[in-house]
Amino acid sequence: MKKIIFLISPYLLFADITTNSQKSIQKSKSEKEQIQKQQQLQHQKSKTLAHGKEKSLNKNVINSISFIKSFNRTASKNASGTWSIQLNPIPYILMELQKLGWNKNAFFLTNEDLGLNFSYGRGDDEVIDLNAKEFYTQKAQIRGRIDRDKIKKIQRLINLLYVTGQLVDETATQLKHFPTLNFLDFRKKIDHAILNSYKKLRKNGVKNAYIYNCNFGGNLDTISCNTDKGIFTLKLTDSVPNLLINGYLYYSSSNIGFTKPTLTLSFATNLNQALSFLEQNAETASITKIIREYTQKLESEGKTKIANEIKSKFIEKALTTNITNQTSAIINAINSGSPIAVLNIFR
């Protein structure tokens, strides 16, 4: 009996082990399927997030490249291969101040705003007082003194330009001290710098100039005033105001604080990243793809040096001009089989 039990027991034991094993396998299989399912979901989620991030980056790149093209700019690559863009931020700062509601006379100023008009009425009913026009014109030509009753308005407007110049100058100075500026986020940093400069200006008090007499500077569009800070000269060029202090241009649509500031924005850390950014921009995508494929072909033939030269010159050209105007010439040069001919297009 014991023997039978012994004989049976192994089978029962084996059956139990098998059952447990099968259960374990089934459980393991189920867990494995669950893990695989979770991994697939995670992979899909990561892929979706990456795709969303890529689309977001793509939109940011497109907007940023389009935006910098509204500036006069240059592009350069340093010894380490890092690409940067140099531009004058003043036009953008002034544009932002306009949006914020800064006094419009800081950007557009006429003789009428200065109280030197010689007409009355509006539109079809406007009448020019020829005697007044002749009087002011002659007075301007002989650099005659401006009447005291008009100096108050002129003083207010000249000081508006002077204060605006202080605000913009401080903004440009702050931008130069930012740790990093890149073409993807510099618009936000400019806005931040404008706000900081405005707060600083208010905190420290507005520095006005005391103006005590003014003369015409030879024509109706030039006024020179004696102030406690030197000679301030207001010049109107197509109603765009310029302010000179002691003969040096201090405020204009592109110069502030006696200088034309240059802002350097980092663009890319290497050639391939620069090409990648240009491929994400609708305007330059197709021609960049052509250049990438062409230079890859040159590299496969061992012509790496000229391939890199072509990429560098192309990037520089694409960042500073409308490269699509030269698409046909580029394709013709590539078809000619001469890498030098392609390079010469971008020089």
Q: Give residue-wise pLDDT tens across range 281-325.
A: 888 889 999 999 999 999 999 999 999 999 999 999 998 888 888
CB neighbourhood size of 206 (10 A): 11
Cα–Cα distance measured from residue 277 to residue 280, given in angstroms and rounded to the nearest whole number: 5
SS3 72: coil
> pLDDT for 187-245, tens place per residue?
888 888 998 998 888 888 888 899 989 999 988 899 999 999 999 999 998 888 999 99
Residue 145 tokens read as 């003194």
Residues 86 and 75 sit within 8 Å (Cβ to Cβ): yes
∠ Cα 264 64 61 (to 5°): 115
Between 95 and 234, the more confident residue is: 234
Percent of the chain with pLDDT over 70: 78
* Percent of the chain as helix, strand, coil, to the nearest 5: 60, 15, 25
What pLDDT digit, counting tens, does each position of 163-187 carry? 999 998 889 888 888 777 888 888 8
pLDDT at 264: 86
What pTM value is reported for the model?
A: 0.69
